[in-house]
Amino acid sequence: MRIAVLGAGAIGAYAGAALHRGGADVHLIARNEHLRALREQGVRVLSPRGDFTAHPHATDDPAEVGPVDAVLLGLKAQHYAECGPLLRPLLGPHTAVVAAQNGIPWWYFHGVEGPLANRRIESVDPGGAVSRTIPVERAVGCVVYAATEIVEPGVVRHIEGTRFSIGEPDRSDSQRCRDLSAAMTAGGLKCPVEPDLRVDIWVKLMGNIVFNPLSALTRSTMAQICRHRSTRDMARTMMNETLDVAARLGVHPDISVERRLAGAERTGDHRTSTLHDLERGRPMELDVILSAVVELADLTGAPAPTLRAVDAVAGLLNQRVSEPVLA
């Protein structure tokens, strides 16, 4: 299977290295010092499951790669609308685009029935910009349960988790999902094909919607948020409000809030990607994680007062990150 990883950062490079190790023809699209290191020494993965090094092809020019069977998007969701020039050279007639994103995907209401069928979520797909760049017919959903970080150019630390759940937006049983699952499994990853990936989306979102914004607002790790009584209570409330929105959309994740909090606390002093982005002065990936759920609360009539309050202050913080510093 011929696979391109567009945005070979921590998750993308880790998945690409595993796929290459499993025998897939992998092409990493990266840039700057990270690209230079990938070309010179390959991807070095440091993992409690065993360190390894893989040497897939790496480039900053997708035209050098050409059409592939699948593109694994390792970009943050806020960059999807602008990735067209990089994505187009990789697309053949049947290329799947596997969006390994957090939060609510732009294809969420594709293939569903009822009054919300094919509805566009503005905070995720503003003005339809993402749908124009990545047509929903190409999309394969992916929920990532792996935690990784880049410790230096070309070197990825795998912290925990190997599961990449995938599925078709219209819930169909497709050959392209089965082929991708086989390639990921051959590389040592878990890649179940889910009949309805929306359940996984909400399970993962229960953590992201709490810890990504709160970690940025408090400059704290996941364990610190869980161990402080007031923020733990806030986290519990936010998770319950999230489950209420999901239930109004017909999704009922089979996991308790207390279990989700305990799992987050066991992760220890893990700094979320949102906190890393804030510290580096980069825009934070909050629209698809938090603002989208507030938009869905509006659609379904869910009160979600705590989610709305956190969205307001986190949104202002995100805006300030992009503002020039005044002398």
Percent of the chain scored above 70 by pLDDT? Answer: 99
- 2-196 against 199-321: fold identical: no
**Mean pLDDT of all residues in the chain?**
95
Where exactly are the structural domains of the chain? 2-196, 199-321
Query: pLDDT of 296-307, one tens digit each?
Result: 999 999 999 999
pLDDT, residue 172, reads 95
pLDDT, residue 270, reads 80
Beta-bridge partner residues of 99: 73, 141
On the question of pLDDT at 327 being above 80, the answer is: no
Report strand pairing: 52-54 vs 43-46. antiparallel
Count each helix (H run) and each strand (E run) in the chain, helices first: 12, 11
Mean pLDDT along residues 12-26: 98
Token readout for 240 is 């319950």
pLDDT, residue 326, reads 46
CATH architecture of 2-196: 3-Layer(aba) Sandwich (3.40)
Token readout for 233 is 């209570």
Mean pLDDT along residues 92-118: 94
CATH 1.10.1040.10 matches 199-321: yes
Mean pLDDT along residues 43-65: 97
Query: pLDDT of 246-273, one tens digit each?
Result: 999 999 998 899 999 998 998 888 889 8
Query: pLDDT of 197-235, one tens digit each?
Result: 999 999 999 999 999 999 999 999 999 999 999 999 999
Query: pLDDT of 23-43, one tens digit each?
Result: 999 999 999 999 999 999 999
Token readout for 74 is 């390792």
pLDDT, residue 324, reads 62
The confidence band for 175, taking pLDDT boundaries of 50, 70 and 90, is very high
Q: Determine whether 204 is an active site residue.
A: yes
CB 246 within 8 A of CB 203: no
CB 123 within 8 A of CB 108: no
Mean pLDDT along residues 159-175: 95
- Which member of 20, 34, 204, 270 is catalytic? 204
The confidence band for 131, taking pLDDT boundaries of 50, 70 and 90, is very high
Vertex 118 angle, CA 113 and 122, to 5°: 135
pLDDT, residue 25, reads 98
Distances (CA, A) of 272 to 219, 258, 277: 10, 20, 9
